[in-house]
Amino acid sequence: MSVGVIPGPYLSDVLAQHEALTSLCEKLSKASFPESLLENIRQGQYRRLVLTGMGSSLFATYPTFRRMSETSVCTHQIETAELLTGFDSLYASDTLLVAVSQSGESAEIVQLLQRASEFGHIIGVTNNSESNLATRCNTVVDLAAGAESTVSCKTYLCTLAALHWMRTQLLCGSPLDAIQDILSAERAVAGYLSQWQDHVAAWMPLIDGVQSIFVTGRGDSLATALTGGLILKESTRQHAEGMSCAAFRHGQWKWLTRVCWSSSSRALVLRPH
């Protein structure tokens, strides 16, 4: 793997992630969930919650899936392409659908929206306020992340934050507390990015000669592990995989040990906190 920093729009997007969170907080501070929706949730009108998206949009729903699974609402996390192939019992008036799409125009989301009337309520989470998703859902959560030059970075982070704000209200918590949580994350991100040159210098010797990268995680961090593997492949054109720590130990570690012992290949294993 060649090592170095390529200046350009993607680097600018990476370095602007904390600014995207600030913009999101400004947007969310002026937004609110319809009181009728929250009241219907409290009264148990929705028997199930379906979280859907593609790629990093789906991965970002995992922390919400974990939290909502602890409630009395039956919660599903399903890739949109798979949701289109079956699961007919989920297309019902007592289903609350949360559809996540950076563009709001992915082919699978647009096809799913053709059956929008079959769901009780659709919450659309998107970075495009004029998209099919934004205009055809019942409640829209605007990520306000700004344009992305290439692979997702600002929008993924803002999706995690926006879903935190959303589920806080679904769980009858304070949206103001959720915004404070996001602002705390914004400060941490800004602090990390302010030292980005030092971080790059520290990483360079670690990735020199690396041919495979495995990003592993458990719990909420699994979302970012999966996204990390995806965007590394997309942005660097190098082999990278995101998976749970347990899945890595079950199979990939044995394969990796054989490869590294039998050749000059090098692999790097990352675990996000």
Give tens-digit pLDDT for 67-105.
Answer: 999 998 999 999 999 999 989 999 999 999 999 999 999
Residue 260 has pLDDT above 80, yes or no: no
Mean pLDDT of 95-121: 97
pLDDT band at 252 (very low <50, low <70, confident <90, very high): low
Residue 259 has pLDDT above 70, yes or no: no
252 within a domain of the structure (yes/no)? yes
CA angle (209 as vertex; 263, 234 as ends), nearest 5: 105
55 within a domain of the structure (yes/no)? yes
Q: What residue numbers bound the domain in which 237 lies?
A: 209-270
Residues 186 and 236 grouped into a single domain = no
Mean pLDDT of 26-35: 91
pLDDT of the residue at 205: 84
Nearest to 109 by CA among 132, 130, 90, 142: 132
Instruction: Note whether 24 and 161 are within 8 A (CB).
Output: yes
Tokens of 129: 């306020």
Tokens of 106: 């992915």
69 within a domain of the structure (yes/no)? yes
Lowest average pLDDT, out of 3-7, 88-92, 220-224, goes to 3-7
Mean pLDDT of 251-260: 54
Lowest average pLDDT, out of 17-21, 131-135, 214-218, goes to 214-218
pLDDT of the residue at 273: 55
On whether the pTM is more than 0.85, the answer is yes
Instruction: Note whether 255 and 212 are within 8 A (CB).
Output: no
Q: Work out whether strand 74-79 and strand 95-101 pair parallel, antiparallel, or are unpaired.
A: unpaired
Instruction: Note whether 28 and 35 are within 8 A (CB).
Output: no
CA angle (250 as vertex; 247, 253 as ends), nearest 5: 95
Nearest to 157 by CA among 69, 25, 245: 25
Residues 124 and 250 grouped into a single domain = no
2 within a domain of the structure (yes/no)? no
Residues 47 and 182 grouped into a single domain = yes
Structurally, the chain folds into a number of domains equal to: 2
Residues 112 and 216 grouped into a single domain = no
pLDDT of the residue at 175: 94
Mean of per-residue pLDDT scores for the chain: 89
Q: In angstroms, what is the C-alpha Rg of the chain?
A: 20
Tokens of 131: 């998209």
